[in-house]
Amino acid sequence: MGRGPRCSKDGLNKGAWMATEDKLLLDYIKNHGEGKWSNVAKETGLKRCGKSCRLRWMNYLRPDIKRGSISDDEEELIVRLHKLLGNRWSLIAGRLPGRTDNEIKNYWNSNLAKKMAQAQSSSQSKCNNVIVKTTNSPSTVIPQQHTPIASPGTAPTANEVHLQNADDFSNNVAINSDDLVKAVNSVDSQMSSEQGSPCPSTTTTGDGDDDHLGSSPTNFMMDFNTDDHEDFCKILDCDFANLSNAMDDHGDHGVDHSGPILVLPKQMIMDKNVQAADFGSLASFLESDEDWLGNDLNVMLS
């Protein structure tokens, strides 16, 4: 696409970083702040490309990085977030203070993927159906034609689960999960600007304005996992148009949704009186031990 390689390989070091290289990079960041990675090599004499420097800083040298094993709570959060977001490691990491996307990705691949695969194989033998949950009627059981998206241990795929008839939509609302991700990002930036500071759940590196730690998202899921559902409601309030569009479009089966669709109980979303309050119940729903993206929330693609 008209661009050469970003990291010229000539004369650059590769592989594990030496302590002296770390020191050069740390000194540079101390003096100049994060960013301008392409200048690091020029100004420090470090024989590493900017990309490599950035990675070293983000994954290892940053002072707020939490070392040590992943706790049970963190693991549970990773599993839940992965169900919601798929392999969007940076988004997941943004909700685990001190953890890097690389660390979470590695942890998933080496630990959780296997666990999830085992859990899935045991549960799949019990049930090969997808349940569409409705507010006013008993759950509708639909023959599963494919593995639902976000099945444990796998990234979301373009699999499809067909409803038996269009009436099954009547009590449900479709939310494009990509829109949900946008909403999460949107509220992140909104809350950051409201607070005029980086995410309260992440620590800053020191003194300056350029102490932004990457995207510094709010710790929405961590907060959400406490009893405070306010942030979750905020998300859906602040970018409700996205969700509504996906919802409105869903009656038209010709609409091309780019991502997987979550089907939620319609009443939970449509009733203006409960717009905020009922997302608390949605929060409770998501909080529950139910397999909310696998079965109780039907996941499908248009």
**Chain contacts with DNA (rule: CB under 7 A):** 1-7, 9, 13-17, 34-38, 48, 50-52, 54-56, 58-60, 87-91, 101-103, 105-107, 109-111, 155, 214-215
CA distances from residue 220 to 47, 86, 93, 105 in whole angstroms, order as listed:
39, 17, 12, 20
| Residue 145 vs 258, nearer CB to DNA | 258
Rounded least distance, CB 56 to DNA, Å: 5
Minimum CB separation of residue 153 from DNA in Å reads 12
Amino acid type, 92: I
CB closer to DNA, 12 vs 127? 12
Min CB(157)–DNA separation in Å? 11
The alpha carbons of the chain give a radius of gyration, in whole angstroms, of 22
CB closer to DNA, 54 vs 83: 54
How distant, in Å, are the alpha carbons of 76, 98, 174, 277 from that of 267?
A: 29, 38, 12, 12
> Least distance in Å: CB of 191 to DNA?
17
> Cβ distance 129 to 143 under 8 Å?
yes
Measured from the CB of residue 108, what is the shortest distance to DNA in angstroms? 8
Complex with DNA: residue 88 or 162, whichever CB lies closer: 88
By beta-carbon proximity to DNA, the closer residue of 85 and 247 is 85
Report whether 80 contacts 283 (CB < 8 A). no
Find the shortest distance in angstroms from Cβ 236 to DNA: 22
Contacts of 140 (CB under 8 A, 6+ apart): 131, 132, 134, 164, 168
What is the rounded CA–CA span in Å between residue 33 and residue 188? 23
Q: How far apart are CA 298 and CA 199, in angstroms?
A: 32
Please tell me whether residue 298 adopts helix, strand or coil conformation. strand
- What are the φ/ψ torsions at residue 132 (nearest 5 degrees)? -95, 120
Q: How far is the CB of 257 from DNA (least distance, A)?
A: 16
Tell me the closest approach of the beta carbon of residue 62 to DNA, in angstroms.
11
Measured from the CB atom, the residue of 4 and 254 that comes closer to DNA is 4
Nearest CB to DNA, comparing residues 61 and 276: 61
CA distances from 56 to 13, 70, 215, 264 (A): 13, 20, 17, 41
Q: What's the DSSP call for residue 273?
A: G
Nearest-angstrom CA–CA distance, 286 and 106: 25
**How far apart are alpha carbons 162 and 172 in whole angstroms?**
14
Q: What counts of helices (H) and strands (E) characterise the chain?
A: 13, 5
The residue among 93 and 297 lying less far from DNA, judged by its C-beta, is 93
Q: Are strands 261-265 and 172-176 parallel, antiparallel or unpaired?
A: antiparallel
